[in-house]
Amino acid sequence: IAPEDDSKPISIFCSVCQQSVDPHHLFNHKKAHKALNLLGFDNPQTKPDNKTLLAQRQKLVSKLTKTPKYSETHRQKIDYSFEFLIDNNTPTSFCDLANVNNPNTFKKVNNSLIRALSICQDKNSPWQADMEDRFIVLDNYGNRSDTCFLGLFDGSHGATAAETVAAELPLLFLDQLAQMDSSYIKSRDEQQTLDSFATVIKADYKEKEKIFSEKTANCKTHKTNAYEWIHKAYAKSFWRMDRLLRLGRNEDSKVRWSGCSAVTCLVERIPREETDGTEEEGKNHSGSTTPSPLTRIPKGAAGLLHIANIGNAHAVLCKNGKSHCLSREHSTSNTTERKRILQDGGSISPNEPEGLVEGYLRTTRGLGHHGDAVLKRSVIPVPHTVSIPIDDTCQFLILASNGLWEVLDYNEVFALTLTTFTHYLKRYECVQQNGASPSRCHYVMPLTEDNLCDSEAITDLEGGREIPYSNKDISLTDSKGSLEQKKMDSKVFCDELASYAGQELLKTVSPVGSKPPSPQPEEDTKTHLSSCKSQSARRFRVASETLYNSAASYVSKQLVKMALAAGSRDNITVVIVFLNGC
């Protein structure tokens, strides 16, 4: 049962002022926060009157004119912020959500770690002429059961690079994995495709690649990582992919070729014997009796997520009611990236808000962009990678392109995901119990100030030295700052709903009004009961699977709609993965 859309959209919980905001108001709402902050009002709850705003503007302008380094640009920012707040701009809706019909893509994944997976996209036609985002989902990756590869590629200046990367990066990554782990097997067709790259990936290039991928191996602060070989495989495959894009296949322009940001995830199940032997493995790697947290697999971990991202496509994990960003922002807003570009002789234009690399591109890392040699000198193909153990407390994994993140931060996306999911479950329960129309069953999970997580929870993975591959496995169990669902535990609710559904399915085994069965021998009775149980269990699995697939579709569609309502100007692609903790 897929619920109909509400006449009123679900509100978005602002992570700055802890208030519920209509999606259409969010764009101006956030601009007001920035304007107040620029004028010196640190409290986001502040709502100064016009007289107070005027006095504060005059104070700032007077102070600015007396400083030796007077900046006309800063003066303009002060004036613009003041005028914006005085005008009290009314929100403008750039899209009619009632007429937005985003096609959902269901992906049947035979992976015991994943309950459901759905992808939703929107071209954002008021702002974009073409859809440049691409995605790929590969089940039984490398001919391994319970292993899948997820990839999302945010194209720039055309979709050529994103299409090429979606088709070839998984092969290059698989080739690197197969060299280190014989359980990854390449098919004949895949091997033929890889062999065709031999004329491009020559011996001299492989030497440069080796230096690149092992750059941190000689660092004194380097610590052994149990999944270092996977991080190196990511680094080499991204490096080779960028080399292949230098061929310029299917590029239209002779000056500015296309490029893309990327976020990928390898989902694999941990064999039971591997989890049992982690302590001994920790001794071998760390050289001490106490296993290092970088190598130890936590007890109860069922699988692993190996994430790699480059550019401004991101991944967020919901674990035990808390949000965790598993990717890194590679754009001019990152001070480390700005410093790297300027030290290497590149330039960043003064365009607002954070400037553009060589006056053209906001992202500082990416694949492609080979048409401009000066630009490519600064935009490097070095991914950020991290390995995360997952267990039954992990609920959602969200991969999304820049179209979502440019208007909603990680906290807001996480809160919105929980809200829409519990909203869907409540309406589903209402329909099942009362037979009411889905449109009459309204429920929105209340979010309060206590539920909103600290910004530190989002940036806890952003610190540290920049390296070609991450040398840390991050344990998420002790992260500070959380958005906890205190009004309702979705996992408990799921269990109650599953119990209810199971009871309803058991009722269908013996229809109401049917004649009681005649006495049977004890052996026949046992056989009959066993058959009934297996039949009801099979029906329940089908019903549960359908429920999660429909819920994943609903959540991904709502995330896209909220991004459109909040004023996104880019293509939007959302991949939502329901994990076992959901």
State both tokens at 124.
């954002």
Residue 195 lies in a domain: yes
CA 415 to chain CA centroid, nearest Å: 14
d(CA 83, CA 85): 5
Mean pLDDT by groups of 10 residues along the chain of 582 residues: 51 79 78 82 81 84 79 77 74 54 71 93 90 94 94 93 96 95 94 89 69 52 68 94 89 80 95 54 35 48 93 94 93 94 92 85 94 90 94 94 93 91 85 60 42 37 34 37 36 39 36 44 54 57 79 92 90 95 85
Cα–Cα nearest to 556, from 153, 103, 114: 103
Within 10 angstroms of residue 209's Cβ, the number of other Cβ atoms is 16
3-state secondary structure 271-302: CHHHHHCHHHHHHHHHCCCCCCCCCCCCCCCC
Which of 31, 51, 86 is at the close of a domain?
Answer: 86
Q: Are 158 and 69 part of one and the same domain?
A: no
Q: Both 70 and 111 in a single domain?
A: no
Same domain (yes/no): 206, 323: yes
Task: Clarify whether residues 68 and 147 are in a common domain.
Answer: no
Q: Which long-range contacts (CB under 8 A, 24 or more apart) does 291-298 make?
A: 292/223, 292/224, 293/473, 293/475, 294/223, 294/224, 294/225, 294/226, 294/471, 294/472, 294/473, 295/224, 295/225, 295/226, 295/473, 297/226, 297/270, 297/389, 298/389, 298/391, 298/475, 298/477
Query: Same structural domain for residues 53 and 171?
Result: no
d(CA 465, CA 493): 42
Cα-Cα-Cα-Cα dihedral of 279, 281, 284, 290, to 10°?
-20
Q: Quick one: pLDDT at residue 475? A: 38
Same domain for 237 and 118, yes or no, is yes
Residue environment code for 380-407, b if the CB has 16+ CB neighbours within 10 A, otherwise e:
bbbbbbbbbbbbebbbbbbbbbbbbbbb
Helix (H, G, I), strand (E, B), or coil: what is residue 107? Answer: coil
Buried b (16+ CB within 10 A) or exposed e, 29-38: bbebbebbeb
* Burial class for 264, CB neighbours closer than 10 Å (0-12, 13-18, 19+): buried
Residue 424, domain CATH: 3.60.40.10
Contact residues for 50 (Cβ-Cβ < 8 A; gap 6+): 86
Which among 28, 52, 86 is the end of a domain?
A: 86
- Asked whether residue 358 is assigned to any structural domain, the reply reads no
- pTM above threshold 0.75: no
Q: Is residue 220 part of a domain?
A: no
Q: How confident is the model at residue 480, as a pLDDT?
A: 34
Q: Say if CB 12 and CB 21 are below 8 A apart.
A: yes
* Distance (Å, whole) CA 55 – CA 49: 10
Question: Which contiguous run of DSSP H or E holds residue 182?
Answer: none
Smallest Cα–Cα separation from 169: which of 131, 198, 135?
135
Residue 5 domain-assigned (yes or no): no
Does 353 sit behind a cis peptide bond, omega within 30 degrees of 0 on the bond before it? yes
End position of a domain, from candidates 86, 119, 150: 86
Q: Do the bridges between strand 394-400 and strand 572-579 make them parallel or antiparallel, or are there none, so unpaired? A: antiparallel
451 in the same domain as 420: yes
* Same domain as 238, residue 169: yes
Q: In this structure, what DSSP letter does residue 217 have?
A: T
- 453 shares a domain with 313: yes
Quickly list DSSP for 126-172.
TT-SS--EEEEEESSGGG-TTEEEEEEEEEESSSHHHHHHHHHHHHH
Domain count, the chain: 2
Residues 324 and 409 in one domain: yes
Quote the tokens at residue 379.
Answer: 């935009």
177 found inside a domain: yes
- Helix boundaries (H) for 196-251: 203-213, 228-245
Pairing outcome for strands 147-156 and 384-390:
unpaired
Same domain, 140 and 246: yes
Residue 336 lies in a domain: no
In angstroms, the Cα distances linking 354 to 329, 338, 343, 408 are 13, 10, 17, 18
SS3 of residue 473 by DSSP? strand
Q: Which domain holds residue 44?
A: 12-86
Q: What is the pLDDT of residue 126?
A: 86
Residues 183 and 231 in one domain: yes
Q: Which two tokens stand for residue 483?
A: 């958005």
Q: What is the DSSP string of 30-73?
A: HHHHHHHHHTT---TT----HHHHHHHHHHHHHHHHTSSS--HH
Mention every residue, 6+ apart, whose C-beta is less than 8 A from residue 219: 467
415 within a domain of the structure (yes/no): yes
Integer angstrom CA distances of residue 366 from 6, 29, 245, 291, 314: 39, 31, 11, 36, 13
Q: Is residue 255 part of a domain?
A: yes
Q: How far apart are CA 257 and CA 370, in angstroms?
A: 6
CA separation for the pair 59, 156 (Å, rounded): 43
Residue 5: per-residue pLDDT: 46
Q: Look at residue 181 in the predicted model and tell me its pLDDT.
A: 92
CA distances from 122 to 113, 224, 520, 557 (A): 28, 42, 60, 9
SS (H, E, C) 351-400: CCCCCCECCCECECECEECCCCHHHHHHCECCCEEEEEEECCCEEEEEEE
